[in-house]
Amino acid sequence: MHMANMRALLSFLILLLLLATTARATDPAPFILVDQFGYLPKLEKRAIIRDPVIGFDSDRSFSPGPTYVVIDTKTGQVAYEGEPVAWARGQMDETSGDRIWWFDFSPLTRPGTYVVRDLNKRIDSDPFDISPTVYRPVLRDAFKAFYYQRAGFEKREPYVATGYADRASHLRHGQDREAQRYDAVGDMTTARDLRGGWYDAGDYNQYTSWTANYVSSLLASYLENPAVWTDDMGIPESGNGIPDVLDEVKWGLDWLERMQNRDGSMLSVLARDEASPPSKSTGPSRYGLANTSATVTASGAFAMAAYVFRSEPKLAKRSKRYRERAIRAWDWAEANPAVKFYNNSDEHGTDGLAAGQQEVEQDRLNKMRLIAASRLFPLTEDPKYARLVEQLYERVGGVKADTANGFEGDLGFTLLTFVGLEGVSERFADKVRSDYAAAMDEWNGWPAVRGASDPYGAHTDGYWWGSNGVKARRGAVYTQAIVGGVDPVTHTQALNAASHYLHYLHGVNPMGLVYLTNMDHAGAERSASTLYHAWFVDGSRDFDSTKTSRFGPAPGLMVGGPNEGYARDACCEDVCGGHGDRLCRRQNIVPPEGQPPAKSYGEFNDGWPLNSWSVTENSLGYQSDYIRLLSKFAR
């Protein structure tokens, strides 16, 4: 063949390959789904068998054979045999667009590595383990996401996987050590040392209220299962005689301390420049003014840390300092109950100052105050805080259905913990437990579990921005019921209910994806290959995707999840301009466009105007919610 023709043929084949790669950016899920990491021996285990009827994968169909077996991959022998059972008598699930069968193999408890096999169709599931410690390495990776998200801290081997080493970020002139007030950039008289903390999400901004929530969530994970939080999680502080989770909490608290003014108030937000990797960021760091909501939330985090740290010999000295900061913050917020600061707002002259809006309305502020007061009470033993909790409980409407559905999961945990304290009135304790039990018995609580309303075992009210965080909080509702003594069934049933939310996040979902990034080393066959993140940015030769770049994103980051509200920017209907118009001309972003709610997820990380952040961006909110759920099952 002539050389020119050879080159033409080669170019054509490469084009076909690229088109195929683009078209298959989001691969259909397998027909047989299992938790890609595995199962605990004594809890429920079931494979989900799916026949896609509606959605991007509906050109494929599957009907299971009459006999399913679990095969021990080491011996090749049948370890369990049974029949698949149709969910809802063979009806299609509207949420996923799938027809579903369950294959329950819960009686199999022997540790080992297995696959589920359809004997008639000769199709296997992904391999999975049964083991008491199956989730331990997963917890380690998920926890280390906080280390990857540290600002102003060097990432180096052996604490990071190969490819992710980076110098400490945002420490140049005019950056975090000399952060300037948002409306006075260049005026070094406003400079503040605000180094440290964590990048909040896929951007590098930080928000005081949200950082305080992550601190509190990590502390709650520690209190709920301290045995799992050892001193060998693979961060630089490992081996110092302090549980690593408390070392990570301390890192977050160090930043919160720098954000506190002398009068006790808390600065609200810190906006940072972005680059890949983070150390290449050169632009100035800017902070927003103090507000009541950030100050109240930080007060609760300081108080909770002071209470926990006073029992840790190597951290006890810090307890007194955090106690003083908690009370100062509380007192300022009580004297200044309505100080607002809206960041990233044209109306308020803060456009471009960070991304997410951290300011809240009055109902949310009251819940923040309730949580903070409930944490100050055991620390100070001052009854005024207990009285205030009771008052605020009535003001926010008590424990309602939104506690059971996961949207107010932390409020429920806080209240159940509070009513177990000495000095809380029995009348109030009984009311909270009764309200919680009633909320759990609403249609979307225990009835949803008993009625198998979700064939994937992880019922929620919908799939919106951050649905994976909601799934994690929803699962934790059942473990919190056990801790709070309001479990209406048995301990094992509650753990089983929670475990299916974990399995959902580990691949038992209509996308067949582990919703953590880059987890093949931990046993995942299909984990999130890409996400919206300023470090792991679209087009990066090193970090874009595990499918197309050298390294892909760092391991263990929890992505946002399916979002039925996903849409390109509205400018795509008219003119976005320049590069935006080229992206808008893409024929399809399918999925997530035009899909059933639970399939409204796609493996892409384009920025504006395709706005993948509403689907694939990570958040330490999702991360801490997931860690909190996972830590109940890790050993």
Give DSSP secondary structure letters for 349-368: T-TTS-SS-----HHHHHHH
Reported as a pLDDT band with limits 50, 70 and 90, residue 441 is: confident
Q: What domains does the chain contain, in order, with CATH numbers?
A: 179-360 (1.50.10.10)
Enumerate residues 6+ apart whose C-beta is below 8 A from 98. Answer: 50, 51, 52, 53, 54, 55, 92, 455, 510
Burial class of residue 578 (count of CB atoms within 10 Å of its CB; 0-12, 13-18, 19+):
exposed
Q: pLDDT at position 16, please?
A: 36
Enumerate residues 6+ apart whose C-beta is below 8 A from 2. Answer: none
Q: pLDDT (tens digit, 9 = 90+) per residue, 534-582?
A: 999 999 999 999 999 999 999 999 999 999 999 999 999 999 998 899 8
Q: pLDDT at position 12, please?
A: 35
Enumerate residues 6+ apart whose C-beta is below 8 A from 517. Answer: 527, 528, 529, 530, 531, 536, 546, 552, 553, 554, 555, 556, 557, 559, 618
When pLDDT is averaged across residues 22-34 and rounded to a whole number, the result is 82
pTM above 0.85, yes or no: yes
Rg (CA), the chain: 25
Task: Indicate if the pLDDT at residue 443 is higher than 90.
Answer: no
Q: What is the DSSP letter of 203?
A: S
Q: pLDDT (tens digit, 9 = 90+) per residue, 67-94?
A: 999 999 999 999 999 999 999 999 999 9
Reported as a pLDDT band with limits 50, 70 and 90, residue 19 is: very low
The H-or-E segment that residue 104 falls in is strand 98-104
Q: pLDDT (tens digit, 9 = 90+) per residue, 124-174?
A: 999 999 999 999 999 999 999 999 999 999 999 999 999 999 999 999 999
Confirm if 144 and 161 have CB atoms less than 8 A apart: no
628 closest CA partner among 437, 498, 497: 498
When pLDDT is averaged across residues 332-353 and rounded to a whole number, the result is 97
Reported as a pLDDT band with limits 50, 70 and 90, residue 480 is: confident
Q: pLDDT at position 404, please?
A: 65
Distance CA 330, CA 370 (A): 12
The H-or-E segment that residue 101 falls in is strand 98-104
Q: 39: which strand partners?
A: 130
Distances (CA, A) of 183 to 187, 350, 358, 361: 9, 8, 18, 24
Distance CA 331, CA 385 (A): 12
Q: What is the DSSP letter of 164?
A: -
Reported as a pLDDT band with limits 50, 70 and 90, residue 412 is: confident
Residue whose token pair is 């190969």: 162
Confirm if 513 and 507 have CB atoms less than 8 A apart: yes
Task: Indicate if the pLDDT at residue 14 is higher than 50.
Answer: no
Q: What percent of the chain has pLDDT over 70?
A: 94
Reduced to 3 states, what is the DSSP secondary structure of residue 114? strand
- What is the 3-state secondary structure of 424-490? CCHHHHHHHHHHHHHHHCCCCCHHHHHCCCCCCCCCCCCCCCCHHHHHHHHHHHHHHHHHCCCCCCC
Distance CA 195, CA 596 (A): 43
Distance CA 104, CA 109 (A): 12
Distances (CA, A) of 307 to 368, 374, 378, 379: 18, 12, 8, 6
When pLDDT is averaged across residues 221-234 and rounded to a whole number, the result is 96
Distance CA 93, CA 109 (A): 30
